[in-house]
Structure 1
Amino acid sequence: MRETEVYDVLIIGTGPAGLQAGIHAARKKIRVILFGHPQASALYRAHLENLCFVSGKRDGQELLSIGLEQVRHFGATVVEEDVVKTAQEGDLFMVETESGRKFYGLSLIFATGVSRKGLGLKKEKELIGRGVSYCVDCDANFYRGARVAVVGNESAAAFGALTLLKYASKVYLIAKDLKVAPELEKELRESQVELLLGRWIKEIRGAERLEGVILDDGHPLELDGLFIELGAKGAMELAATLGVMLDPEKFTYIVTNKRQETNIDGIYAAGDICGPPLQVAKALGEGCIAGLEASSYAIKKRKALFNS
C-alpha cells in the first residue's frame, strides 16, 4: 500500500471526545479522519449549561456543528458513515464503513460513546440471554438453524441480519424506517433476509424463553431469537474484534490508562466509552489526550514504516 493511502489517525466517533481528539491530532499537520453521524451523539439532542467557558444554556446540535467546523478547519476529514468492521492488517488498522469503503491508518481512537438502547417492552429484560440479545456478533453462533429476527433501522441491524444468514435457517429484519447506505440496502434486498419494512414490535412473547413477537400491525411472528440492534455498530463489538480489553466486571467500557492507551499498541479510547462520569467535560479532556498521544504514536510509526 502506498504511503499516501494511509491515514495517521483513524477516529471512530464524531461526538465531543472524537471531535476534540480530531482537533488536537489534526493540528499536528498529519492525516486525520473521523467516522460517524454527529446526530447520533448523545449531545445532539441535549442542552449544556455546566461547561466551563460556555455561558448560558447551549444547544448540543449547535455545539457539535461548531466542533465539526473546527476539526475540518484544522485539516481533518469527516466521513458521516457508521463503521461496521475493524481489523488489524499487519502494521495498519482497517475500518470499513456502511457503504463498503475501507480506510487504513497507523493509529485508531474509539470515541463512540455508549448506548445499548432497548425497545422498552415488557419481558424484554427478563428474556435477555433466553432468546433476546443486543449483540449479533456475540450470540449468532447460539442460533444455528433457528428462526430469528433483527429489529432496527440503521446499519447495526442491517449488518446483523446479513451476518445471521450464515447461522440461522430464517432471518427477518423488522424496520420502521430503514436508514442505511444505498449499497447496503441493495445487498439486503438481494439476500435471503425477509424484510418487514414499515413495521415495528409492540409485544414480546414468552415465559421461560422467547417464543415470538407481535408486530404493530397485529401480525404474530414465531421466533427462537430476537436481536435488538438500534443504531450504529456497537463499540464493544468493534473493539473486541481487535482484542481491546474491556472492564472485567460488566464488559461495558474500554479499559485505558491515563494516556488513553488501551492494551493494544496504537489503539486509544476517549469519552463515555471509557466509563463514568458520562460528562462532556471528561470526554473533551480524554479526547485531547487521545488525540495528542495517537498523533505522536502515528508520527513515529510513519517514520519507521516509510522512512519519512
Structure 2
Amino acid sequence: MSRESFDVVILGTGPAGLQAAIHAARKKVAVLVLGRQPQSSLYKAHVENFCCLGKIAGGDLLGAGREQAQKFGAQMWDEDVLEVTSGGEGFVIRTESGREVAAKSLVLAMGISRNKLGVPGEKKLLGKGVSYCVDCDAGFYRGTKVAVVGEGSAAFSGALTMLMVASEVHLIYDQASVEPTLAGQVEAGGIFVHSGRKVKAILGEKLVEGLELDNGEILEVEGVFIELGAKGAVALAGTLGVMMDPESMQYIAVDKKQATNLPGVYACGDITGPPWQVAKAVGEGCVAGLEAAAYAKDRRG
C-alpha cells in the first residue's frame, strides 16, 4: 500500500484539532485531520460561554469548524489512528483502515478519555486487574486470560496486541464501530468475540477474577482492559517519547508555543490539561496549527 505524505497531520477532530487545521491550512501547507468527530466530548454537549456566540449545540459548532478547515484546504479522514512512529525526516501514522501517512509535523489534539464502564468492581479493582491502556500494561498479563471491552479501534487493536501476550483473549462489545479491515483482523485472529454483549460486573475481591456479562455468562479472566473509543494521549504519545506532565502522567507537557519535548510534535486542547473549556482548546489549537505549519515549511527543503 502506498504511503501518502502531508506537511501537517492533526490527530483529533474536536475544537482544538479543527482550529489547528484552519490555521495550518491557511499557511498553504498540506494538512490532514484524522479522527471520528462523534468521539469528541463536545459533540453531544452545548456551549453557551464561548465569546461572541449564544448557546449552540456542540455538534453544530464542530460541523461549522470542519467546513471551515476543508474550505481552506485541509483533508478529513474519518478514521482513528492506531500507531504513530518517528520515521526518516518526520513521522509515520498508521490508521485503522491500514493506510500509512507520512508527516513533517504532528498536532496531538485527541482530548482525554472520560469513558468508564460504571459497573460494580471497576473502581475497586483499578490497578488490580483493571486497566484503561493495553499499550501501557499488556506486559503484566503475559500468559494469562484477559478481556478487552469496547467497540472502537482502541479495543479491537488492543485485543490484537493482547493476542501476542496473553494465553486467551476475549473481546466484548455491544455494537462495533471500526473499519472492516480491522474487524477482519480480529475475526481471523483467534480472539473470543462476544458481540452484542455488555459487561454487568467485574468480579474479584483483591484482584480481578472474572467478568459477568449482561446475559449472565461468567468469563474467568485475570485482566480487564477497558478501551472505549480511540487510542488516547498516553498510548500514542508514549510510543513516540513525548513527555507527559510529571505530576499526573495524564496530560502532555507543552511550552507557550504548544511544543512538546519532541521536535515537530505539538499538542493542544484537553490533552494538555484543564480547564476543560472550548475557549482554551481553540486558543491552543490556533498556536499549535501555526507552529506546526512553520515547522513543516522549514523542512520542505
What is the TM-score when the length of structure 2 is the normalising length? 0.98
Query: What is the number of residues matched between the two proteins?
Result: 300
Q: 1:238 aligns with which of 236, 239, 245?
A: 236
For 1:1-308, list aligned pairs within 5 A: 5-55=4-54, 57-303=55-301
1:157/1:230 contact within 8 Å kept: yes
Q: C-alpha deviations, 1:99-120, integer Å up to 9, x for none?
A: 1101001000001111142111
1:15/1:38 contact within 8 Å kept: yes
3-state SS of the aligned residue for 1:210? coil
The 2-side partners of 1:145 and 1:205 are apart by 20
Structural RMSD (CA): 1.2
- Bigger shift: residues 245-254 or 113-122: 113-122
The 2-side partners of 1:148 and 1:255 are apart by 32
The 2-side partners of 1:63 and 1:155 are apart by 25
3-state SS of the aligned residue for 2:209? strand
Q: How much identity, in percent, do the aligned residues show?
A: 54
The 1-side partners of 2:66 and 2:95 are apart by 19
The 2-side partners of 1:130 and 1:51 are apart by 41
Amino acid at match of 2:18: L
Amino acid at match of 2:67: E
The 2-side partners of 1:124 and 1:62 are apart by 34
3-state SS of the aligned residue for 1:17? helix
3-state SS of the aligned residue for 1:179? coil
- Bigger shift: residues 122-131 or 65-74: 122-131
3-state SS of the aligned residue for 2:51? coil
Q: C-alpha deviations, 1:167-192, integer Å up to 9, x for none?
A: 10000000111111011111111111
1:116/1:134 contact within 8 Å kept: no
The 1-side partners of 2:239 and 2:207 are apart by 29
3-state SS of the aligned residue for 1:226? strand
Structure 1: tracts of 5 or more residues without a match? 304-308
The 2-side partners of 1:115 and 1:169 are apart by 28
Cα offset, 1:5, TM superposition? 4.3
Cα offset, 1:284, TM superposition? 0.3
The 1-side partners of 2:284 and 2:259 are apart by 11
Amino acid at match of 2:20: A
Cα offset, 1:132, TM superposition? 0.7
What is the TM-score when the length of structure 1 is the normalising length? 0.96
Cα offset, 1:6, TM superposition? 2.4
3-state SS of the aligned residue for 2:103? strand
The 2-side partners of 1:148 and 1:106 are apart by 38
Q: C-alpha deviations, 1:265-294, integer Å up to 9, x for none?
A: 000000000001110000000000000001
Q: Measured at CA, do residues 213 and 5 of structure 1 come closer, stay the same or move farther in structure 2, by a change above 3 Å? A: closer
3-state SS of the aligned residue for 1:238? helix
Q: C-alpha deviations, 1:127-168, integer Å up to 9, x for none?
A: 111111111001111111100000101100000000001110
Structure 2: tracts of 5 or more residues without a match? none
The 1-side partners of 2:52 and 2:274 are apart by 22
3-state SS of the aligned residue for 2:79? coil
3-state SS of the aligned residue for 2:212? strand
3-state SS of the aligned residue for 1:177? coil
Amino acid at match of 2:149: V
Q: C-alpha deviations, 1:9-65, integer Å up to 9, x for none?
A: 01000100000000000001110000001111111001011111112x111111111
Match for residue 306 of structure 1?
none
